[in-house]
């Protein structure tokens, strides 16, 4: 996957996160991978806070690493990520 020339400049403009834990680091990796796939598409880049909100129910860091590995092995990181999260939601009543 090719990265656009201005991608790093766009990241530099965003507010820097003060990553202080392993959980914050893995969530940032999720956001970076998703954003790499969104380059050149109609979708806006995700921010750390959005990904953290989606993964708020996952308490163990080891589970986050498992999910990250599963998403990396898939053809599309984003599709696997959002598909797994969609599958864990409770059905609407």
Is residue 69 situated within a structural domain? yes
Is residue 39 situated within a structural domain? yes
Question: In which domain, by residue range, is 25 found?
Answer: 8-87
Tell me the C-alpha distance between 51 and 20, whole Å: 17
Tell me the C-alpha distance between 39 and 11, whole Å: 12
Model's pTM, two decimal places?
A: 0.73
How many structural domains does the chain have?
1
Q: Of residues 2 and 46, which shows the higher confidence score?
A: 46
Q: 């129910």: which residue's tokens?
A: 57
Query: pLDDT tens digits, residue range 31-90?
Result: 999 999 988 889 888 888 899 898 988 889 999 999 999 999 999 899 898 888 887 555
Is residue 1 situated within a structural domain? no
- The pLDDT score that the predictor gives to residue 10 is 63
């Amino acid at each position: 996957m090719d990265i656009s020339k201005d991608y790093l400049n766009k990241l530099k403009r965003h507010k820097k996160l003060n990553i202080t834990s392993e959980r914050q680091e893995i969530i940032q990796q999720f956001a970076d991978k998703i954003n790499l796939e969104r380059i050149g598409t109609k979708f806006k880049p995700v921010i750390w806070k959005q990904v953290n909100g989606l993964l708020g129910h996952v308490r163990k860091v080891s589970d986050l690493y498992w999910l990250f590995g599963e998403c990396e092995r898939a053809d599309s990181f984003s599709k696997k990520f959002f598909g797994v999260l969609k599958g864990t939601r409770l059905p609407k009543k």
